[in-house]
Amino acid sequence: MLWYTKATATVRFFFPENRVECRYCRYMRADANGARYKCGLTDEILGRIDQLGAMCPIEELEEEKEEGQSGEHEAV
């Protein structure tokens, strides 16, 4: 092989209620015994899954709500 052609893709991610964390990403992978986590997009080893990895490709966030939702929640 003489060279590689670079390409990009746009992927939509949906996270529950502003919890933008690796643990909710469909590309996060665990090793066989579940002791270590890795990003399936960047191959980054994730030290924590309650936040985004340092190499995460997510650039901007949009909040999608069902019609009729105000975005404010009452305490129960």
Reported confidence tier of residue 10, pLDDT bands at 50, 70, 90: confident
On whether the pTM is more than 0.75, the answer is no
Tens of pLDDT along 27-54? 999 988 888 999 999 999 999 999 999 9
Q: Is 53 helix (H, G, I), strand (E, B) or coil?
A: coil
**Model confidence band, residue 12 (pLDDT cutoffs 50, 70, 90):** confident
Contacts of 39 (CB under 8 A, 6+ apart): 22, 25, 27, 28, 29, 46, 53, 55, 56
Whole-number Å distance between alpha carbons of 75 and 10 = 37
How far is residue 15's CA from residue 21's CA, in Å, rounded to a whole number? Answer: 8
pLDDT of residue 50: 95
Please, are residues 38 and 46 in contact by the beta-carbon 8 Å criterion?
A: yes
Taking only the tens place, the pLDDT of each residue in 51-63 is: 999 999 887 666 6
